[in-house]
Amino acid sequence: MTTANRNASGNGDGEPILSVRDLRVWYGTAKGAAQAVDRVSLDIAPGEAVGLVGESGCGKSTLGRALMGLTPQSAAHDGKIIYRGQDVLAMTRRQRHALRGPEIGLIFQEPMTRLNPLMRIDDHFDETVRAHEPGLSRAEIKRRSLETLGHVGIPPTRFHQYPHEFSGGMRQRIMIALALVLKPKLLIADEPTTSLDVLVEAQILRLLKDLQTEFGTALLMITHNLGIVAEACDRMAVMYAGRVAEDGEVGSVFANPGHPYTRELLRSTISLSTKQLSHIPGSPPNLVTPPDGCRFHPRCPDAMQVCAQKVPVATHPRPGQRVYCWRHGPDDRIPDGGEQPLQQEFDHVDEA
């Protein structure tokens, strides 16, 4: 890919395993098209762990699924997703099957309904491994599956049971094992630890870390928990209303959040240390008719005139950190008087 592409971040060392360019995904709804992902550009380097955070409904899961070309029938997409030089969205069906699983693995957010209720756990593993390595013997498949299940704490005695015989947390771990058994080169983990207790959560996070060091697996970790990001990720991206607001090294974003939304996000987490990022004043916009200009401007304490008119462009306040906010310029793109503060009625600042 072109190294001169200044729009995308990237930590500079070598070719990214995945690079997303101007990706858009919109859902057809009764009220119109909901732009769940809007012109997202993002790079993930091999072996790198990237945290993706943002309020509920901002498009994280949609983005995660789109990365392997999985968008529902009711959705349309546009843009480029380049995985090791190949455009995922332009792949043939066969290529996509080969991609999903051993190349890009996905752990879904909601574990309860992701296993086929009529199939035993062993059938799920059998089918999954066989889809990619048809020649493998039954015994070998079983050995691999049990090994992976062991890593997530599911005992071999339960290998032949049906999904309904497991708790939510166990199903989540089975789903994780189903993704890991193929040793993907890039793992998209969509809130993989939501229904797990802290001990198991720590175990899973350690497992993902091991995977990275041992096999060089790259990780896109979607989460609400900034603690996990701080602990497990090298870089992070903050999404707001379908767009990337900011991304960069975890340390530098935490120390110097460039985007007012990131700042508020960090503050709300630190003050409350909850898992839910719910108390930034106001609520995320609806995605059918999002606000003009910067989508955060109705809630932004720093909003200026220009913010309501023009979509922010990428700025790089520090090396490796990318911020979409007019506060960081570029000054030559801001019209005269655009820096005047935006008069806003903050009556929606209800702390309820």
Partner 1 sequence: MASQTTSLRAYALSRLVLAVPMILILLSFVFLLMRVAPGDPVAAALGGKVSQEVLERKRAAMGLDEPIYVQFADYISDVFTLDFGMTITDNRPVLEVILNNGAATLELVFFAMVIATTLGILLGLITGRLRDTPIDVTGRLFGIFVYATPVFFLGFLGQLIFGAGLNWLPASGRASPMVQYTLERTTNLLVLDAIIAGNWTALWDVVRHLIMPATTLGLLITGVLLRMVRVNLLQTLQGDYVEAARARGVSEPRVVYKHAFRNALVPVVTMIGLQFALMMSGAILTETTFNWPGLGNQLVRYLNNRDYTGVQGIITFFAVVVVLISVVIDFVNAWIDPRVRY
Q: Is 167 in the site for ligand ATP (CB under 6 A)?
A: no
Long-range Cβ contacts of 110-118 (<8 Å, 24+ apart): 111/168, 111/171, 111/172, 111/174, 111/175, 111/195, 112/168, 112/171, 114/171, 114/175, 115/163, 115/171, 115/174, 115/175, 116/163, 117/162, 117/163, 117/164, 118/162
Does the footprint of ligand ATP cover residue 274 (CB under 6 A)? no
Among 102, 290, 317, 329, binds partner 1 (CB under 8 A): 102
Contacts of 92 (CB under 8 A, 6+ apart): none
The interface partner of residue 59, options being ligand ATP, partner 1, ligand SF4, none and the CB cut-off 5 to 8 Å by kind, is ligand ATP
Cβ–Cβ under 8 Å, residues 84 and 75: no
- Comparing CB distances to ligand SF4, the nearer of 203 and 344 is 344
Distances in Å between the Cα of 317 and the Cα atoms of 35, 166, 320, 325, 327 are: 28, 48, 9, 10, 10
* Interface mask toward ligand ATP for 21-40; x: CB under 6 A: ------x-x----x-x----
| 307 in contact with ligand SF4 (CB under 6 A) | yes
Task: Tell me the number of residues near partner 1 by CB under 8 A.
Answer: 35
Phi, psi of 135 (to 5 degrees): -80, -10
Footprint of ligand ATP on this chain (CB under 6 A)?
27, 29, 34, 36, 54, 56-62, 72, 74, 109, 287
Footprint of partner 1 on this chain (CB under 8 A)?
65, 68, 70, 72-73, 93, 96-102, 105-106, 108, 110, 113-119, 127-128, 131-132, 160, 162, 164, 175, 178-179, 182
Footprint of ligand SF4 on this chain (CB under 6 A)?
259-261, 294, 296-297, 300, 302-304, 307, 312, 325-327
